[in-house]
Structure 1
Amino acid sequence: MQSQDNYWLGILLERYTVLVLGVTMKYLGDPEAAKDATQQIFFHVLQTLSRHKITNFKNWLYTVAKNHCLMHIRKNKQTRIEELKEELLNIQSEGVPEGLQTRERLLEQLQSALEQLNAAQKTCISLYYLENHSYQEIVTRTGYNGDQVKSYIQNGKRNLKNYIIKNDPPNG
């Protein structure tokens, strides 16, 4: 750090590549996402290292990696939730009454609709959209096969849509 020579930082980061890759795999679960995150973390370290006074590099790097992964997970979870919201908001063009135009109301109905799904559909929809799990992770966690997971998610989305259409009171 005193010499401001990135050559030495490169050697240091090389020594901790396995640690960072392990942390990213633990949190992200996907080898490709973990590799990408590791590169992003190292780039971030290169850019910000001079701003920090570091006494234990390994612990600091672990914390940077963990925080990067948690931010990534939050961002993806929010993206998936937004995708589901948008899909359900787009059903207006398929006959949803005009009174369902507010997002707040849709979210309330979405919560009620989730409670009406059968256990398998509710589990798969929740794991995929709310907990940001891949189909393969859902297969592993639930014991359903891949076709069942896909079917439960597709049928669950259709049932959510039908519930919302059916239970929207006239005139808002």
Structure 2
Amino acid sequence: MSDQQLLQLYLQEKDNSWLGPLLQRYTLLLFGVCMKYLKDETEAQDAVQQIFLKVIQEVHKYKIDYFKSWLYTVAKNHCLSVLRDKKSKIPVELNENDLKEETEEVAAEKEEVSPELLKEALNALNREQRQSVTLFYLEKKSYQEISQSQGYSLMQVKSFIQNGKRNLKLLIRKMLKESKKTNG
């Protein structure tokens, strides 16, 4: 039977026994596509299984003229999505001491940045930046976890952390200058 015949029978009867042979025909193609993008055999095998599930769930939503081409596109998009997710979940091993070291860079003669000063500077940030910086650096949450728990997009989280870190340095620099004037 042709791809189109198997697909039509599946769509009419909603019977996976028609879709199985169709997917089986292209298992090696899918594996090859996944290997091309993911470059890891285990990940590629997992991706093929996920693509099979995605096809079963979504094949009825589309008018498919050329199943092989459509399947290739689904596989490519899935792999690109996996790679994007991986990129956004790159772990950054930072803790309170690392954040302190980051902020100390701005201090002339590497003056000690006290936990109180750090807390005061954090509290001076806007709410989104304070939450994001605290969750990322102090609670070691990933961009994805912050995005999900706070309801921000990944781009917003990245921006809040980047801007918050920069503003934190500026605030600490300003506070250190002011304390020098007052004490010095």
- How high is the TM-score relative to the length of structure 1? 0.55
1:121-140 aligned at under 5 Å gives the runs none
In structure 2, distance between residues paired with 1:104 and 1:70: 25
Q: Who is 2:94 aligned against?
A: 87
The unaligned stretches of length 5 or more in structure 1 are: 110-164
In structure 1, distance between residues paired with 2:102 and 2:64: 59
Relative contact order higher in (CA < 8 Å, ≥ 6 apart): 1
The unaligned stretches of length 5 or more in structure 2 are: 1-10, 104-112, 130-160, 177-184
- How high is the TM-score relative to the length of structure 2? 0.52
How many residues align? The count is 113
Same amino acid, percent of matched pairs: 44
Following TM superposition, by how much is the alpha carbon of 1:171 offset from its aligned partner in structure 2, in angstroms?
2.5
Following TM superposition, by how much is the alpha carbon of 1:170 offset from its aligned partner in structure 2, in angstroms?
5.4
Larger radius of gyration: 2
1:112-123 aligned at under 5 Å gives the runs none
1:63 to 73, 93, 100: 73
| Residues 1:49 and 1:90: Cα distance change in structure 2 (over 3 Å) | farther
In structure 1, distance between residues paired with 2:71 and 2:27: 10
In structure 1, distance between residues paired with 2:17 and 2:72: 21
1:23-172 aligned at under 5 Å gives the runs 23-80=33-90, 83-84=91-92, 87=94, 91-92=98-99, 96=103, 97=113, 98=118, 99=121, 103-105=161-163, 169=173, 171=175
| Residues 1:77 and 1:107: Cα distance change in structure 2 (over 3 Å) | farther
What RMSD in Å do the two structures reach over aligned CA positions?
3.0
